[in-house]
Amino acid sequence: MQWCNFPDPLIVILGPTAVGKTELSIRLAEALNGEIISADSRLFYRGMDIGTAKPTRAEMLRVPHHLIDVCDPDETWSLAVFQRAAQEAIRDIHSRNKLPLLVGGTGQYVRAVIEGWQIPAQQPDPRLRQALEKWAVEIGPDEMHRRLALIDPVAAGRILPGNVRRTIRALEVIFNTGRRFDEQRTKGGSPFSLLMLGLKRPRAEIYARVDARIEAMLKDGMLDEVRGLLAKGYSADLPSMSAIGYREMTDVVQGKMTLDEAVTEMKSLTHQFVRRQANWFKETDPDIHWFNAAEDCLPQMITLIQSGQGWLPRSRTEE
């Protein structure tokens, strides 16, 4: 591993949806004999390709990718399962003398890996969840989210108001334990030497790229992709089908929303999601080295990686 002198190195590439992480991470992996571990929770599911902006087959042939297409839409990959799988993938890449790159915009999943979260085993409570689901129907998603914000504003700030599933899960854990959702995850320290690279663009430019991506998804057949998933028997109530875009396209298929209404909703919700992503990784964070994604920042990144500057040493010793 000629690119640095740190043990168990891990490059982390961060940034909001549509900033340009996919192409940049592939180019960086090609230049440094690396492999990519996806930290985007939407990419776990097989058959959900267009609406998740999943890397194309050609892109994934350029460098090895991990944790993409690892389960079917009716399977659940929890945060704890992802964390274990990501750590195993990183160690496997190290064992082959290659450089792992953790890439994604799902802040919770990235933090779980790089901070060594100790995630408590919290079994679902079907009776409580059923009561919360009934409550959500009665008062609506926005009001349900407001109630969560009153109890745990940090958790609420990281969940879109329309994401009823995650809102209910947070409330379920809080009511079962009597503790705020975020208080139940302790940081065990990172078993890896980290270099955190952030990609940024002006917010207006991000929004324009989001809107263009959504229009491209529709032209590429996202509505037919959703029709196909429903035809295979995947329920509209599955957590995977609650992702932005899939929920709205399902409403179109079921006649609950027009296509124009769905597109407007998708764009609005994705803009909100971009703003919430910033809560996980702030440009004021001194541990993150930010680069302008509108420029060719690959040479600067390679120089920084090879310089040995900016790396965060391991903070946990693996037993």
Q: Which helix H or strand E contains 34, and what residues bound it?
A: strand 34-38
What percentage of the chain carries pLDDT values higher than 90? 65
Could you give the CA distance from residue 77 to residue 227 in angstroms, rounded to a whole number?
A: 23
Backbone phi, then psi, for 197, in 5-degree steps? -115, 120
Q: Is 18 annotated as a binding residue?
A: yes
* pLDDT tens-digit readout, 61-88: 999 999 999 999 999 888 889 999 999 9
- Rounded (5°) CA angle 254-248-135: 90
Q: Is 267 annotated as a binding residue?
A: no
Handedness of CA 31, 35, 40, 46 (dihedral sign): positive
Name the more confident of 153 and 2: 153
What percentage of the chain carries pLDDT values higher than 70? 94
DSSP-derived secondary structure for 104-138: ES-HHHHHHHHTTEE-------HHHHHHHHHHHHH
* Whole-number Cα distances in Å, 295 to 32, 248, 271, 301: 20, 34, 22, 12
Range in 82-91, 104-113, 199-208, 256-265 with the lowest mean pLDDT: 104-113
Q: Specify the pLDDT at position 183.
A: 64
Per-residue pLDDT at 299 exceeds 90: yes
Could you give the CA distance from residue 215 to residue 207 in angstroms, rounded to a whole number?
A: 12
* pLDDT tens-digit readout, 252-288: 999 999 999 999 999 999 999 999 888 888 899 999 9
Name the more confident of 299 and 107: 299
Q: According to CATH, where is 1.10.20.140 located in the chain?
A: 126-184
* Whole-number Cα distances in Å, 217 to 138, 201, 221, 313: 33, 21, 6, 40
CATH architecture of the domain covering 126-184: Orthogonal Bundle (1.10)
Could you give the CA distance from residue 12 to residue 52 in angstroms, rounded to a whole number?
A: 20
Could you give the CA distance from residue 88 to residue 40 in angstroms, rounded to a whole number?
A: 17
Q: Is 22 annotated as a binding residue?
A: yes
Q: Is 221 annotated as a binding residue?
A: no
Q: Specify the pLDDT at position 186.
A: 63
Q: Is 98 annotated as a binding residue?
A: no
Q: Is 157 annotated as a binding residue?
A: no
Question: Which candidate, 72, 117, 115, 64, places its Cα nearest to that of 92?
Answer: 64
Q: Spell 21-57 as b/e; 16+ CB within 10 A means b.
A: bbebbbbbbeebebbbbbbbbbbbbeebbbbbbbbee
Neighbours of 221 (CB within 10 A): 14
Contact 108, 170 (CB under 8 A): no
Q: Is 19 annotated as a binding residue?
A: yes
Q: Specify the pLDDT at position 319.
A: 41
Could you give the CA distance from residue 64 to residue 36 in angstroms, rounded to a whole number?
A: 6
Q: Is 167 annotated as a binding residue?
A: no
The one-letter code for the residue type at 314 is R
Per the structure block, which two tokens stand in for 203?
Answer: 């917010």
Query: For the domain 9-119+186-307, what is the CATH superfamily, name and number?
Result: P-loop containing nucleotide triphosphate hydrolases (3.40.50.300)
Q: According to CATH, where is 3.40.50.300 located in the chain?
A: 9-119+186-307
